[in-house]
Amino acid sequence: MKSLLILLFAIALTRSQDEPECKCRSYVHVAEGELDVLDFPSNMASSCSAGFECAGFCGGEWTLLTNDGDLNHIMLDGITVGQHMCTKAASSGYNEISSENVYLNWNLCDGPWYFDGQISRQPLCCTAGTYSTC
């Protein structure tokens, strides 16, 4: 019985890894590389070669969540996009961000990240974890 459970668990784990997943991220450049500054939902893609589908999904999420890259856009919780980004940056140890553009990338099936041309309308500036216009 124990062997059967292990086998079923292994099959389930393998199947879950085979699901083609599309991930989106927005980031800024920091000295150490790239810093994710806003969480996006992931989405299942039709296949691991569905790049246009994934890029379209991420572009749609960017437009919906940020009003097409507007850091002053107020989200449904009453907080600006820029403040959400500064809060996430601060939670990663980056309280100060000085005039950095925010970029959108997408990734399919844990492959490389691709830049799709989306850039924030304003640069991101955070002082002590608080968003301000640059």
pLDDT tens by residue, 34-74: 999 999 999 999 999 999 999 999 999 999 999 999 999 99
Query: Cα separations (Å) of 37 from 3, 5, 8, 88?
Result: 44, 40, 38, 6
Using the predicted structure, report yes or no on whether residue 121 has a pLDDT greater than 90.
yes
Phi and psi (nearest 5°) for 34?
A: -120, 140
* pLDDT band per the 50, 70, 90 thresholds, residue 18: confident
pLDDT tens by residue, 21-33: 999 999 999 999 9
The owner of tokens 């437009």 is: 63
Rounded to a whole number, what is the largest CA-CA distance in the chain?
Answer: 63
Q: Residue 12: helix, strand or coil by DSSP?
A: helix
